[in-house]
Amino acid sequence: MDCSLQCRCHSNYLNKLYCAFTGRGFYISIPIIEVDKPYFEYICHIQQPQIILFTNPATVKGTMERLRQYADMHQKLLDIEVMVINDVFELLMRNQKKLIIK
């Protein structure tokens, strides 16, 4: 059976990652809250230039595409500069938070 049919997780992203690594789906009882929609709504109501910081460069393109789609759908104009804080995501994934603070 296709992995995507077996997966019952609340988050497609996490589920796809798990499926990609294990070949099977999973279920968790703790709900995963999607933050994109309320965050995008908040951003779209700010009518001045903004800077959005990312720690994971791999998420910039997808997040910005979804934000632009959300803004277009709600007829909002965005004035956003994107900045990536280099190396922070990798340090977080290795639980090296002390190196980030220094």
Cβ-contact 8, 25 below 8 angstroms: yes
**How far apart, in whole angstroms, are the C-alpha atoms of residue 90 and residue 56?**
8
- pLDDT of 5 reads 39
- Long-range CB pairs of 16-20, under 8 A, 24+ apart, other chains included: none
Segment 33-75, tens digit of pLDDT: 777 888 999 999 999 999 998 888 888 999 999 999 999 999 9
12-16, 41-45, 85-89, 91-95: segment of lowest average pLDDT = 12-16
The CA–CA distances, whole Å, from 35 to 3, 11, 40, 102 equal: 25, 11, 8, 29
Q: Residue 41 corresponds to which tokens in the numbers above?
A: 């709504």
0.75 exceeded by pTM? no
- pLDDT of 98 reads 62
